[in-house]
Structure 1
Amino acid sequence: MTVFLHPEAFKKIMQVKQPKDISNFHIVGINYKKTDAAIRGLFAINQDQYQQLLLAAQAAGMHDLFVLSTCNRTEIYGFAPDPADLMRLLCGAANGNLQVFNSLAYVKSGEGAVRHLYQVGTGLDSQILGDYEIIGQIKGAAKFAKANGCVGTFLERLVNSVLQVSKLIKNETGLSSGTVSVAFAAVRLLESKVADIQQKNIVLLGVGKIGRNTCKNMMEYLGVRNITLINRTTAVAEDFAGKHGLRYAPYEQLDDSLRAADVILVATNASQPTILRKHMESTAGKLIVDLSIPFNVAADVRELPHVEVVNVDDLSKIQDETLARRLNEVPKAISIIEEHMEEFLYWYKMRKHAVVLKAVKEKLTEIHAREIKEQKNGAHYNLEDIEEVSSRIIQKMINLMAGKVRKETEKGDQYIAMISEIFETGANQD
């Protein structure tokens, strides 16, 4: 049985969306390794800026990206023709200068960018080794981008893989034991610096995730309950205080609360300082721990002799007796990352192949249908026989192609490219 092919058949192949080329996947960012907290603050992205950035990305035709902005880093992950496109997008939303960012930034592309996200998500690239809070920040950042139409199949699958690996490393290694977050490092600082802390008045300004975690750690590890919560939205502070038996004060009472405090923790992440010099003048000695990026304590507060200010970079220097033990867990964590990254890359490659093979099958089916129709009036043809035999032939051709691609994994991309060229599938990047 011969399937007749019309000479024009291969010239009218449908346009097929093919997965984006991984070489166009980039990460551009800055972190604690080359920049201090003051510079990182210039490029921190709050939620309003994030929203505007995503809108700008869509207007520029970029629909698969997300931004990770924490106290230790600001990074943008996504697909773009050139990483400089992502850099301009990020700096267009931030308060910092593009030239400054460019001089300090690192850029990774393709598999290097994929590996970087695994290492960040598992705490291997954190200022505090094994930081487990970072994975929640990645999850939140990707979720926000997805809700705004800026996360595609590749990035969603990658983030889910990183979430899974982070959980495995936490459960199967000791990488995340000990002082493994800024919130807990703050507690260690208070433990070493403040005698009789149970008798001190503590104010926590900002009841977001970092503020809540810090508060819970203080209660659990230091046994303190004399904490007054203040938040711009009073209902948030009231709700958390009610659940944990703490005090809260409306934002309008900020000045009085700060004057009465012995210890102040700031986790507001506002774009401008919330603790000003005027709040601290003519008061007794105080310790202020600024957990925010950008800084939420004005720079001139440090000039006051009776006030000590500690920021996130200072916290990372706290000695941790578990560090050596956690360093020993790094090879095991890297092994887990490499195993799951290999699985992710295999999925990516096979997805590319599946798209092209599906397009070839659809085109052969189209040819088959056309030929059957053209031969429909031939008395010597049995229509049902033609359809059955032709369908089997088409499926066998597809199975042979797919089997060869799976068997020859190293040459799979070459085979797929050749098949695509032979059938002129017109596969394009979405």
Structure 2
Amino acid sequence: MNINRPSDISHFFVAGINYKKSDTAIRGQFAVNNDQYEAIIKSAPDHHIDSFFILSTCNRTEIYGFAEDASRLVNLICSQTKGDAATFADFAYIKKGADAVQHLYNVGAGLDSQILGDYEIVGQLKQAVKFSKDHNFINCFTERLFNSVLQSSKTIKNDTLLSGGTVSVSFAAVQYIKENITITPETKILLIGTGKIGRNTCKNLIDYLGTNNITLINRSDEKAQELASSLQLKFASIRDLESNIAAADIILTAANAVEPIILKSQFKHTSSKLIIDLAVPSNVEATVADLANVTLVNVDMLSKLKDETLNKRKAEAPKAKMIVAEHFADFMEWHQMRKNAPALNALKIKLSEISKQHQELLNGGETKCPFISFEQKIQRVVNGTASKMRSQNKGGCHYIEAINEFMILVAN
């Protein structure tokens, strides 16, 4: 990866699809799991890309990175997904430069989430960047931007109520159950998948439905057993999935599976059931929705739920946007100064040469201990030039002005 790749902000892109234009079926075609992410990283050099990361959640799949053009990033991510680049392009948004930077701030703040202020995106963003960083695919620009986005998100979390209350996809699922099902001690709930979303959902079921008649199933039996034991729930082996589906009144799925694990063929002469699919790609075969005795709800349906907490979050959005604007401006100033760093270093070297020549003249051709005042004057001129470069755009004129200014200071 020593080949010289684009690193200027004009070559920084985000290409993605999200809930605004695509449904769960489309988003599922472009969801990226860890195995796919690993394969994408291995093939990235062949696409002339050496700095990128992929954010894949239930409501978006986005690739951020540096490339000659956005199509390289699109082709890279689609090289390992079910969906192809042409389909991706039909639903995608592409942003570059400062617009791509701004988009990442909004995503990290929860301002672009399907459920406004959903703070789970921060953890997902950390995992995405860490995965690429562990494989040496995060450059200085991206790491600085990521850290600034995290700082912005943390400030929003602490200083606003944008993420206040309890509103997330997992909580929305419990809310839906409360509004549509009468829960009794006999109501049997089956939860499939005990990852982060599954664990959050499980705790919400206990806290807000007041029930522990919950059976946990996971691809790894040990993980399901561990969570069940800690919460005093039941667990079952993945081998007994079909019998547990038949017995359950409510089924929630949050498994990280590439293909559906709940199939229409598993429902034979069964009682009425509510199925809530929290996964993307979907854990439930689409034809299950055709069954007369089954109600199937997915994350897009859950996101439409409105309540008082969401209304309060909307009122906090302007404050959050102001915080984002401040961090965005600070980052862009850092970027501009980083862009000017070679010119400022060259200027400092040139002024040091002039200073040395002047001292030699004063000392009869011999160099003695340099005067501290010369160093101070050099730094003063460099700092002044940096300030001008931030506020003006005059290119090489600053270099000439700085030398003239230094000569005047030396003469005095």
Whether the TM-score (by the shorter chain) exceeds 0.5 is yes
Question: What is the TM-score normalised by the length of structure 2?
Answer: 0.88
Q: Do the aligned partners of 1:64 and 1:78 also contact (CA within 8 Å) in 2?
A: yes
Q: Deviations over 1:185-207 (max 9, x none)?
A: 11111111220254311111111
Q: Which moved more, 1:67-76 or 1:352-361?
A: 352-361
In 2, the alpha carbon distance for the partners of 1:189 and 1:20 equals 46
Q: Secondary structure at the match of 1:382?
A: coil
Match of 1:167 among 124, 136, 154: 154
Q: Deviations over 1:5-30 (max 9, x none)?
A: xxxxxxxxxxxx99932121111111
Match of 2:217 among 230, 254, 264: 230
Identity of aligned residues (%): 47
Q: Are 1:218 and 2:210 counterparts?
A: no
Partner residue, 1:58:
45
Q: Do the aligned partners of 2:36 and 2:80 also contact (CA within 8 Å) in 1?
A: yes
Q: Are 1:382 and 2:353 counterparts?
A: no
Q: Give the partner amino acid of 2:366.
A: N
Q: Deviations over 1:135-186 (max 9, x none)?
A: 1111111111111111112111211222222222222222223453111111
Q: Give the partner amino acid of 2:261.
A: T
Partner residue, 2:406:
none
In 2, the alpha carbon distance for the partners of 1:417 and 1:268 equals 60
Partner residue, 2:387:
406
Q: Secondary structure at the match of 2:79?
A: helix
Q: Give the partner amino acid of 1:31.
A: N
Partner residue, 1:310:
297
Question: What is the TM-score normalised by the length of structure 1?
Answer: 0.84
Structure 1 residues 358 and 268: alpha-carbon distance in aligned structure 2, compared to 1, 3 A threshold: same
In 2, the alpha carbon distance for the partners of 1:416 and 1:183 equals 57
Partner residue, 2:243:
256
Q: Which moved more, 1:47-56 or 1:314-323?
A: 314-323
Q: Give the partner amino acid of 1:404.
A: T
1:324 deviation in Å? Answer: 2.5
Structure 1 residues 197 and 269: alpha-carbon distance in aligned structure 2, compared to 1, 3 A threshold: farther
Q: Secondary structure at the match of 1:212?
A: helix
Q: Which moved more, 1:175-184 or 1:356-365?
A: 356-365
Q: Do the aligned partners of 1:179 and 1:320 also contact (CA within 8 Å) in 2?
A: no
Q: Do the aligned partners of 1:274 and 1:297 also contact (CA within 8 Å) in 2?
A: yes
Q: Secondary structure at the match of 2:370?
A: helix
1:44 deviation in Å? Answer: 0.9
Structure 1 residues 219 and 355: alpha-carbon distance in aligned structure 2, compared to 1, 3 A threshold: farther
Q: Do the aligned partners of 1:361 and 1:394 also contact (CA within 8 Å) in 2?
A: no
Match of 1:36 among 23, 34, 37: 23
Q: Are 1:247 and 2:229 counterparts?
A: no
CA RMSD in angstroms, aligned pairs only: 2.9
The aligned runs of 1:16-415 (5 Å cut-off) are 20-178=7-165, 180-358=167-345, 361=348, 381-383=365-367, 385=368, 388=370, 396-397=377-378, 399-411=380-392, 414-415=394-395
1:368 deviation in Å? Answer: 9.8
In 1, the alpha carbon distance for the partners of 2:322 and 2:184 equals 42
Larger RCO, structure (CA 8 Å, separation 6 or more): 1
Q: Give the partner amino acid of 1:401.
A: V
Q: Structure 1 unaligned runs (5+)?
A: 1-16, 424-430
In 2, the alpha carbon distance for the partners of 1:225 and 1:303 equals 30
1:323 deviation in Å? Answer: 2.8
Q: Do the aligned partners of 1:273 and 1:295 also contact (CA within 8 Å) in 2?
A: yes
Structure 1 residues 81 and 187: alpha-carbon distance in aligned structure 2, compared to 1, 3 A threshold: same
Q: Do the aligned partners of 2:109 and 2:156 also contact (CA within 8 Å) in 1?
A: yes
Q: Deviations over 1:271-322 (max 9, x none)?
A: 1001112222232211111011111101121122111111111111223233
Q: Secondary structure at the match of 1:219?
A: helix
In 2, the alpha carbon distance for the partners of 1:126 and 1:107 equals 17
Q: Secondary structure at the match of 2:42?
A: helix
In 1, the alpha carbon distance for the partners of 2:139 and 2:397 equals 23
Q: Secondary structure at the match of 1:74?
A: strand
Q: Do the aligned partners of 1:264 and 1:288 also contact (CA within 8 Å) in 2?
A: yes
Q: Give the partner amino acid of 2:104.
A: L
Q: Structure 2 unaligned runs (5+)?
A: 404-412
